[in-house]
Amino acid sequence: MRAYVPVLGLIVSLLAACQPGGTDPVKAFVDHFEVEGRTFNPDKLAGSADPESMQITVVFSSPVNLDRLDRGKLYLSGYNGALSIVAGPTETAVTVCPESALEPFRRYSLVVEKGENLGLSLIDEYRLNIITAYDTSDKFPRIGDEELLTLVQRQTFRYFWDYAHPVCGLARERLGSDGTVTTGGSGFGIMTLPVAVERGFVTREEAAERLRTIVGFLAGKADRFHGAFPHWLNGSTGATIPFSANDDGGDLVETSFLMEGLLAAAMYFDRPEEADIRNAIDAIWRGVEWDWYTRGGQDVLYWHWSPDKDWAMNMKISGWNEGLMSYLLAAASPTHPIPASAYHKGWARDGAIKNGRRFYDITLPLGSDLGGPMFFAHYSFLGLDPRGLKDDYADYWEQNVAHARINHAYCAANPRKHAGYSADCWGLTASDISGGYTASSPSNDRGTIAPTAALASMPYTPEESLAAMRTFYYVYGDRLWGEYGFRDAFSLDSAWFASSCIAIDQGPIVVMIENYRTGLLWECFMKHPDVCSGLKKLGFRR
């Protein structure tokens, strides 16, 4: 009898192998995940998933057997409720559904563990990281658009008033930069002073006294390099803080933005008792040796010069970008002007600056395809009024409107399927991003929206910009709104909101909203006699 036991065992094993689910598991892997029509590879992030009715389809490399499901190896990390796991749309897939709603704007992970499950032998662990959609209910009571515009201007102005460096009055580069002040960002901050006076945020006398502090520091303490200021300064001593290894001298573009603000302020503070301010600004303005930055008379301006690195940066200012103001002011200088040929050859590149192609059915007159980051349409145009402004290369109102409309249309179309992008939530420009900083644009889209992009485009796209302002404030304001206005940027893809504010992003919000409302800074800058002569010299017409 004992001799028959091995034979009986063999028969039982063979019979078991013939039963459904009795075969050895097939080696397999997770090919991809699907969430709400979007496909994700393992270990990727699915942003803005619906917390109320989320369904996740797991697609394997081989057919699955639900009768051999091991729920302990297929679960949603961070979720304590029950999961429904059913057959998917194909024989290689299963669909996972939480049976109760998830929390909004929270991270979860669907985990498929290594080993035997669903009749398969999975060769590795796989997971899909998920961020549920933001709660889109209003976070603040609704107010009128005019009241909201004023609130945004007032709160953002505080960055330049309350957070200014206590010694020099200039703008700190960003929150937390302590003693580091920025020259270009300070130019933008100076342009917020007339807005603050007109809106009643501070008195004219308070603003004039702040400006006296600023120009006194610039004239008496701040390092200058053939009249140009460095990118960053120590706000107490005026010493240069290097921006990079070779960028430890004059920065002509940053200096241009500072001069843009100073010249506009000189026209605003026009009372007899403010003559000392105007005289100090005029002396600083006349001291900039724009012609030095042609590097010996070349028909182009150079961005940087250092007393110890010389022209090591070797960066020409060529368009289309934010550098238009440098050429205008260099041509306008009463003491160190450049010839008009430098503008036409160095900036416009003998017409190569033109584009003329259509994007989203919008013709873009100048620059790179899809328009580049939005600050191209902001920084030089905080003072330079593009309305009706033309030269041999473009109508600058048409240029900036087209640029803003393309940026908006791209975000509304959202070809890369970033979470949160829409016609009411848009704006790609230079800003902080999660883990760094970049100049975002349709061709460099990192999934990050910067409020300054849409808000500083208010004159060009008023309806679209107002819609974005409402979204930023009412929907995302619980995380995006702070004591100095909107924080720098956010990405719903990665559940990231910047804690930062940056001077060069905050300033254009205040100034361009005011240009939309009253044209104040355009009026001030454009009536400066040297600006008028510079425009004429370069062939601009209105």
The answer to whether residue 5 sits within a structural domain is no
Residue 107 and residue 163 in one domain: no
The answer to whether residue 406 sits within a structural domain is yes
Q: Residue 421: phi, psi to the nearest 5? A: -60, 135
pLDDT at 179: 96
Q: What is the mean pLDDT of residues 79-98?
A: 97
Q: Are strands 180-182 and 232-234 parallel, antiparallel or unpaired?
A: antiparallel
The answer to whether residue 391 sits within a structural domain is yes
Q: What share of the chain in percent tops pLDDT 70?
A: 96
Cα–Cα distance, 538 to 36 (Å, whole number)? 54
Instruction: Give me the number of domains the chain comprises.
Output: 2
The answer to whether residue 238 sits within a structural domain is yes
Structure tokens at 419: 């979470």
Residue 19, pLDDT above cutoff 80? no
> Which range of residues forms the domain containing residue 51?
22-132
pLDDT at 5: 40
What CATH number does residue 431 fall under?
A: 1.50.10.140
CA dihedral for 380, 528, 335, 337, sign (positive or negative): positive
Residue 278 and residue 411 in one domain: yes
What CATH number does residue 127 fall under?
A: 2.60.40.3710
Residue 269 and residue 373 in one domain: yes
Edge-to-edge, what's the strand order for the sheet holding 56-60? 38-40, 30-35, 56-60, 93-98, 83-87
Q: CA dihedral in degrees (463, 469, 474, 478; nearest 10)?
A: 160
Among 98, 132, 166, identify where a domain stops.
Answer: 132
Which among 384, 410, 279, 283 is positioned nearest to 329, based on CA atoms? 384
Residue 35 and residue 67 in one domain: yes
Residue 372 and residue 514 in one domain: yes
Per-residue pLDDT band for 346 (boundaries 50, 70, 90) equals very high
pLDDT at 52: 93
- Higher per-residue pLDDT: 45 or 91: 91
Residue 165 and residue 93 in one domain: no
Residue 108 and residue 237 in one domain: no
Length of the chain: 542
| Three-state DSSP state, 384 | coil
Residue 122 and residue 157 in one domain: no
The answer to whether residue 458 sits within a structural domain is yes
Which among 406, 225, 181, 210 is positioned nearest to 313, based on CA atoms? 225
Per-residue pLDDT band for 494 (boundaries 50, 70, 90) equals confident
pLDDT at 310: 97
Q: Residue 125: phi, psi to the nearest 5? A: -90, 145
Cα–Cα distance, 327 to 342 (Å, whole number)? 8
pLDDT at 284: 98
Residue 504, pLDDT above cutoff 70? yes
C-alpha distance from residue 478 to each of 48, 359, 497 (Å): 17, 35, 11
pLDDT at 13: 41
- 49 touches 98 (CB < 8 A): no
Residue 504 and residue 446 in one domain: yes
Q: What is the mean pLDDT of residues 229-234?
A: 98
C-alpha distance from residue 486 to each of 103, 289, 472, 473, 478 (Å): 25, 37, 8, 8, 10
State the chain's mean pLDDT as an integer: 95
Cα–Cα distance, 281 to 263 (Å, whole number)? 7
Among 132, 161, 182, identify where a domain stops.
Answer: 132
The answer to whether residue 327 sits within a structural domain is yes
- 501 touches 477 (CB < 8 A): no
Over residues 278-305, the pLDDT tens digits come to 999 999 999 999 999 999 999 999 999 9
Q: Which long-range contacts (CB under 8 A, 24 or more apart) does 154-157 make?
A: 154/199, 154/201, 155/481, 155/483, 155/484, 155/485, 156/192, 156/484, 156/485, 156/486, 156/506, 156/509, 156/510, 157/192, 157/195, 157/196, 157/201, 157/510
Q: What is the mean pLDDT of residues 77-94?
A: 96
Residue 446, pLDDT above cutoff 70? yes
Cα–Cα distance, 352 to 366 (Å, whole number)? 9
Structure tokens at 124: 């590795």
| Three-state DSSP state, 339 | coil
Q: What is the mean pLDDT of residues 77-95?
A: 97
Over residues 364-421, the pLDDT tens digits come to 999 999 999 999 999 999 999 999 999 999 999 999 999 999 999 999 999 998 989 9
Q: What is the mean pLDDT of residues 181-206?
A: 98
Residue 93 and residue 165 in one domain: no
Which among 402, 335, 412 is positioned nearest to 367, based on CA atoms? 402
- 105 touches 442 (CB < 8 A): no
Residue 498, pLDDT above cutoff 50? yes
Place of tokens 């209003």: 138
Cα–Cα distance, 26 to 72 (Å, whole number)? 19
Q: Classify residue 128 by its DSSP letter.
A: E
| Three-state DSSP state, 219 | helix
Which DSSP helix (H) or strand (E) runs through 261?
A: helix 252-268
Among 132, 164, 195, identify where a domain stops.
Answer: 132
Cα–Cα distance, 89 to 116 (Å, whole number)? 22
Residue 60 and residue 185 in one domain: no
Sequence-distant (≥ 6) Cβ neighbours of residue 269 within 8 angstroms: 207, 208, 211, 277, 278
Q: Are strands 120-122 and 26-28 parallel, antiparallel or unpaired?
A: parallel
Cα–Cα distance, 406 to 412 (Å, whole number)? 10
| Three-state DSSP state, 120 | strand
Which among 365, 329, 236, 391 is positioned nearest to 532, based on CA atoms? 329
Residue 46, pLDDT above cutoff 50? yes
Residue 15, pLDDT above cutoff 70? no
- 341 touches 272 (CB < 8 A): no
Over residues 260-283, the pLDDT tens digits come to 999 999 999 999 999 999 999 999
Cα–Cα distance, 273 to 251 (Å, whole number)? 33
The answer to whether residue 8 sits within a structural domain is no
Per-residue pLDDT band for 20 (boundaries 50, 70, 90) equals very low
Cα–Cα distance, 485 to 337 (Å, whole number)? 39
- 492 touches 135 (CB < 8 A): no
The answer to whether residue 7 sits within a structural domain is no
Residue 10, pLDDT above cutoff 60? no
Residue 429 and residue 311 in one domain: yes
Structure tokens at 240: 């240069």
